[in-house]
Structure 1
Amino acid sequence: MWLSFSEYFGTLPATLRSYTSMLPLSHGVKMRLLDLLPLGSLMTSSLATKLCVSSYAGTITSLQLDQETNGKFTLNQTAVNTGSQPNPAWLTKDPFKDVLYCVDEGLAVPNGTLASYKTSASGELTQIDHHSVISGPVSSVVYNGGAALALAHYGGSAVTTWTILPSGGVSELQTFSYTLSAPGPNPIRQDCPHPHEALVDPTDSYVVVPDLGADLVRIFSIDPETSLLTESTPLATPAGSGPRHGAFLKTEGDTFFFLVSELANTIVSYKVSYGEKEMAFSPVFESGIYGPKPTPEGAALAEVLLSPDNRYLLTCSRNATLFSIPNFDPLNATKIPSDTLQVWKIDHETGGLTFEQLAPSGGRYPRQFSVNHDGTLAAVGLQLDGRVVIVERDVESGMFGRFVAAIDIPGQITSVIWDE
């Protein structure tokens, strides 16, 4: 059953303001503007912010988000970059240089690919290099101070690492391949190991990889001289939970790890302790991803992010359209079914979480989302709707607010990142 905004948000408007225009752009993309009043303290003063979007249509689309003097936002396509990658799945911007890495799952071919691109102010990407890799890469992360890149291969049951060259290109470093002696409790999704994300701990000393198929979080220590990884004892998660993504928080005294598991639709907080090339995890909190509300049938948890100020944890869930929201097309009165975003307040003393908000994601299947540098806006990639939406966020309360811009992009959206 779909619920209205007012049923979940007594303090927010019951409806969204309508779009004022829908202007045709090239490549079948339509640009939409929201007719909004100035947003006061929630507004960001920055203009011309860039974003990059990957799609199973085989494209990396560059976008530009502007805010006009009257408070309206506009979201425009600036470039559509195509190449030899049929199924781009994840984008990583190198924090140390103007290089974008894209992994491609290769859904209909034996291998995936890894490509690196030089970015530009115009949004045009110049390919630096391109490699055939083990099938099914779905995540990448830069580690060891920008010296190397780690990939999680969902389809290929592997973790690979790559040395980052001065050009921004990469060369192969290591491969870790995995098997299961028998399928897991969910034999369809756990037929074999499925590494789903690669992330780095706050000390940049470990690469951590949640493995959905094996019910493990794989742990690797980093050699700072060579960038080589050494695998250590993994974190075992409950059978059939399907760990998908994670996020670390470093407080003044402690380190916490937040893990979301797709099959169990749970979020768990762990207190982290460090040994000699080892990490240990002590659980301190667990909840269903919908907080005090029951988990809908068929829901599939997706992403978890730490807010830029480290005060809130932000998550999203797919395949459970609990909201019915106004159409982004002002000429179309049909309501849009929407999956959800969640907000959790973090207790820095214990690592526990308090459920704060269940908000609409703007459409169906928010596979991934990201937050801008100052935390005032989130960009949500809606895989099944082929849409990217920009939603405002109150930094103080942590709450998501109104949708301020949206754009349709051909194909299924797999990731959207800010290029700030």
Structure 2
Amino acid sequence: MLALTVLLAAITATASATNLFVSSYAGNITTLSLTEHKGLFSLEKVFFNGGCAPSPSWLTLDRGRGTLYCLDEGLPVPNGSLSSYLIRPDGSLTQVERADTLNGPVSGVLYGDASGERAIALAHYGGSALSSWHLGTNGTGSFSFNQNIIFTLPHPGPNAARQEAPHEHQAIIDPTGQFILVPDLGADLVRVYSYSSTTDQLMAHDPLSVAPGSGPRHAAFYNPYGIACQNCTTFLYVVAELANTVTAFAVTYPQAGGLAFEEVYSTSVYGNFPLPAGNAAAEIAVSPDNRFLIISNRNNTSFSLPNPDRRNSTRIPSDSLATFALNCDGSLAFRQLWPAGGSYPRHFSMNSHGDLVAVGLQQSSSVVVLARDVATGLIGNAVAEVEVEGQVTCVVWDE
């Protein structure tokens, strides 16, 4: 008995666990526990957290305050919603507040003073809008409405079926923390906003116009010498869902205010490979070491994978992840096209070290964790996988 106790203690001491939060259209936020022991991984569902139904679409983590914000797209109802949760040490969530929003929030970003007044900006795909919400300063998860900004189009875009209205698809913050950028798939714009330090009100600047009909979905910033570098060229990479391109823009900060953009590079999201018919680019992210760019591609089934059930010889179709090396002039060098682990990788995120990629597979209703070589940037085989009820929309690491 003593030997068994010592053995269990040794296993506990050498194993490490990390929580991930996953949203899905089933109406839940699922807490996953990823455990690693001597190079072997296990991914398990440990908590189901409600209150963000019916259509959770995005999770924004405020690590410094132990708070998680869930955006509900509200697909079958007139309104969306915003909910806040306190994160408990065991990974469970306690809902604090919930409020109705304009329809279709699909992305949210924190802005403001990290140690004081903060706010969250929401991009509304279905509602053709941008909204902002005051966040409490005491870390309790409280919030209150601040502002709605609603957009219109004088006429449909080149892709009339998808560009019949403005469709704000993401909200991100620039490396200085002063500007919020919002790719608008319907209007072929990346909208630019600054904000008031006293009211958190968003103030519009001249937007970035992208190729007509390209449909900008998501974007990511890159500074080749590090985010804190002074007088270094910053680049913005915009992934277009309809054109399936990734375009680099050099970003400058004019004294008159706002941002200025110069296109410096553009390429296919499939790199050197032929683009499959029906492909729909989705997520984009820069690696934690600031050396590589990863893009997820949906609806291409470029790969097939062995069935996890060894008794079943039917192979599993898989969409793809594309990896590019980042060059200091803003150009990209294609490195790899790799299976995403299943169907429709709507979202993915890397852990802080960059050696693991968690992929949210919408149509496969699962989360797959892929190994990643930090030195080469190449993604490898799955180390863990778990099914999640409903169509997965977002997965974030709680680190």
TM over 0.5: yes
Match of 1:74 in 2: 42
Q: Give how far 1:416 is off.
A: 0.6
Letter in 1 for 2:164: D
Match of 2:315 in 1: 335
Match of 1:157 in 2: 128
| Equivalent pair of 2:52/2:83 in contact (CA under 8 Å) | no
- Report Cα offsets for 1:204-237 as digits up to 9, x if no partner: 0000000000000000012233322110100011
| Equivalent pair of 2:123/2:170 in contact (CA under 8 Å) | yes
Partners of 2:175 and 2:121 in 1: CA distance: 16
Among 251, 262, 269, which residue is 1:289 paired with?
A: 269
Q: Give how far 1:78 is off.
A: 0.8
Among 190, 205, 221, which residue is 1:248 paired with?
A: 221
Match of 2:290 in 1: 310
Among 12, 29, 33, which residue is 1:60 paired with?
A: 29
Are residue 390 (structure 1) and residue 361 (structure 2) matched? Answer: no
- SS of corresponding position for 2:278: coil
Partners of 1:277 and 1:333 in 2: CA distance: 60
Are residue 89 (structure 1) and residue 57 (structure 2) matched? Answer: yes
Q: Give how far 1:168 is off.
A: 1.9
- The within-5 A match list for 1:13-32 is none
Letter in 2 for 1:163: H
Q: 1:229 to 1:322 in 2, by over 3 A?
A: same
Q: Give how far 1:354 is off.
A: 0.5
Are residue 237 (structure 1) and residue 244 (structure 2) matched? Answer: no
What TM-score does the superposition give when structure 1 sets the normalisation length?
0.87
Q: Give how far 1:84 is off.
A: 5.1
Higher relative contact order (CA 8 A, sep 6+): 1
Match of 2:8 in 1: none
List runs of 5+ in structure 1 lacking aligned partners.
Answer: 1-44
- SS of corresponding position for 1:48: strand
List runs of 5+ in structure 2 lacking aligned partners.
Answer: 1-13, 226-231
- The within-5 A match list for 1:181-330 is 181-252=154-225, 253-275=232-254, 276-330=256-310
Partners of 1:50 and 1:416 in 2: CA distance: 10
Q: Give how far 1:123 is off.
A: 2.3
Q: Give how far 1:292 is off.
A: 1.6
Are residue 113 (structure 1) and residue 81 (structure 2) matched? Answer: yes
- SS of corresponding position for 1:115: strand
- SS of corresponding position for 1:96: helix
Q: Give how far 1:180 is off.
A: 0.7
Are residue 408 (structure 1) and residue 387 (structure 2) matched? Answer: yes
Match of 1:170 in 2: 143
Q: 1:46 to 1:340 in 2, by over 3 A?
A: farther
Match of 1:370 in 2: 349
- Report Cα offsets for 1:217-261 as digits up to 9, x if no partner: 000012233322110100011110000000011233111101000
| Percent identity over paired residues | 48
Q: Give how far 1:182 is off.
A: 0.8
| Equivalent pair of 1:304/1:315 in contact (CA under 8 Å) | yes
Partners of 2:121 and 2:302 in 1: CA distance: 36
Q: Give how far 1:46 is off.
A: 7.6
Q: Give how far 1:72 is off.
A: 1.1
Match of 1:141 in 2: 109
| Equivalent pair of 1:145/1:204 in contact (CA under 8 Å) | no
Q: Give how far 1:331 is off.
A: 2.8
| Equivalent pair of 2:166/2:187 in contact (CA under 8 Å) | yes
Q: 1:396 to 1:240 in 2, by over 3 A?
A: same
